[in-house]
Amino acid sequence: KQEGRNTYRLFRAEMHRQDHHWLELETALRNTAETGEGLEVNYQPLFDRDSGILQGAEALLRWHHPAFGQVSPVDFIPLAERSGLILPLGARLMRLVAGQLRDWLAEGLAPPRVAVNLSARQFWQSDLVAQVRTLHADYGLPRGQVGFELTESILLDKQQQAIHTLEALREMDCRIAIDDFGTGYSSLSYLQDLPVTTLKIDRSFIQGLGESLGSAAIVAAVTGLAKELGLEVVAEGVETEAQREALARYHVNLIQGFLTGRPVTAEGFAERYLAAEIP
């Protein structure tokens, strides 16, 4: 009993500290959303499996705080979503990405299409389509230079409205991927109505390739479905040669993961993947 009470008190104290921590983190994040300080974008390449040709990049937000150090997006993105700070942060990220693309184009480099992750709140902004149009215009980017990744749950929420927004984005040639595909528990019938371009198979299934028959079955099912619907398939989180070989058997042509390239800074990305052609 005694011990139980102590444990309880300890637990309370721990919770209290944690609440405090989250509050501090949120204040810091609010500050960062306002100033942009400590925010950086990393880019992870996406390749054609067969030819090794660069086919795209995913923009991933990084946050460095002077006191907290490097904070993982796994921690600060959910916080940003809960607090609504994802809107100013997301707007900042988009401008950082667009500015970077403009600079690369001005340097004569040929950056690939860049995919930006959108959370529900961002996707449901009534002026999202206008924002994306303005972004391309302001930075002088070719149509569809910036695309998006969304999770299934977002698209299933208000399907008719989602279709409208997606159609408008597709009219601008934006690529739209369903992220973490296969992890939702939804029926697949909705897919035929959604104007998306890409299914991005969740890392968990790629990691399970060669380990569990279930993962292989899911990869096979997703690729079969994508073929029928005319969608491209990306495997994310590819870490080993064995996984890449397995993906060849299922004719997955686009791969992203530590095997072919980790997320790197813009400078690193340009150096490694956008080297200017030698005349």
**Interface residue list for Ca ion (CB under 5 A):** 117, 149, 179-180, 236
CB of 214 within 8 A of CB of 232?
no
Q: Nearest approach, Cβ of 252 to ligand C2E (angstroms)? A: 14
Q: Nearest approach, Cβ of 164 to Ca ion (angstroms)? A: 23
Find the angle CA(167)-CA(56)-CA(36) to the nearest 5 degrees. Answer: 85
Comparing CB distances to ligand C2E, the nearer of 79 and 156 is 79
Chain residue at closest Cβ approach to ligand C2E: 257
Q: Nearest approach, Cβ of 230 to Ca ion (angstroms)? A: 22
Q: Nearest approach, Cβ of 2 to Ca ion (angstroms)? A: 44
Q: Which does 119 bind (CB under 5 to 8 A by kind): ligand C2E, Ca ion, none?
A: ligand C2E
* Spatial separation of the C-alpha atoms in residues 104 and 106, rounded to whole Å: 5
Q: Nearest approach, Cβ of 62 to ligand C2E (angstroms)? A: 8
To the nearest 10°, report the CA torsion of 208, 193, 170, 133: -100
DSSP state letters, 235-269: E----SHHHHHHHHHTT--EE-STTT---EEHHHH
Q: Which does 218 bind (CB under 5 to 8 A by kind): Ca ion, ligand C2E, none?
A: none
Q: Which does 243 bind (CB under 5 to 8 A by kind): ligand C2E, Ca ion, none?
A: none
Q: Which does 73 bind (CB under 5 to 8 A by kind): Ca ion, ligand C2E, none?
A: ligand C2E
Q: Which does 45 bind (CB under 5 to 8 A by kind): Ca ion, ligand C2E, none?
A: none
CB of 140 within 8 A of CB of 166?
no
Q: Which does 222 bind (CB under 5 to 8 A by kind): Ca ion, ligand C2E, none?
A: none
Q: Nearest approach, Cβ of 182 to ligand C2E (angstroms)? A: 12
Find the angle CA(273)-CA(75)-CA(18) to the nearest 5 degrees. Answer: 155
Q: Nearest approach, Cβ of 116 to Ca ion (angstroms)? A: 9
Comparing CB distances to Ca ion, the nearer of 25 and 235 is 235
CB of 190 within 8 A of CB of 159?
yes
Alpha-carbon dihedral sign for residues 25, 26, 31, 35: positive
Comparing CB distances to Ca ion, the nearer of 32 and 44 is 44
* Spatial separation of the C-alpha atoms in residues 129 and 138, rounded to whole Å: 14
Q: Which does 112 bind (CB under 5 to 8 A by kind): Ca ion, ligand C2E, none?
A: none
- H-run or E-run covering 273: helix 266-273
Binding site for ligand C2E (CB under 6 A): 44, 60-61, 72-74, 77, 93, 117-119, 149, 179-180, 203, 237-239, 257-258, 263
Length of the chain: 279
CB of 168 within 8 A of CB of 129?
yes
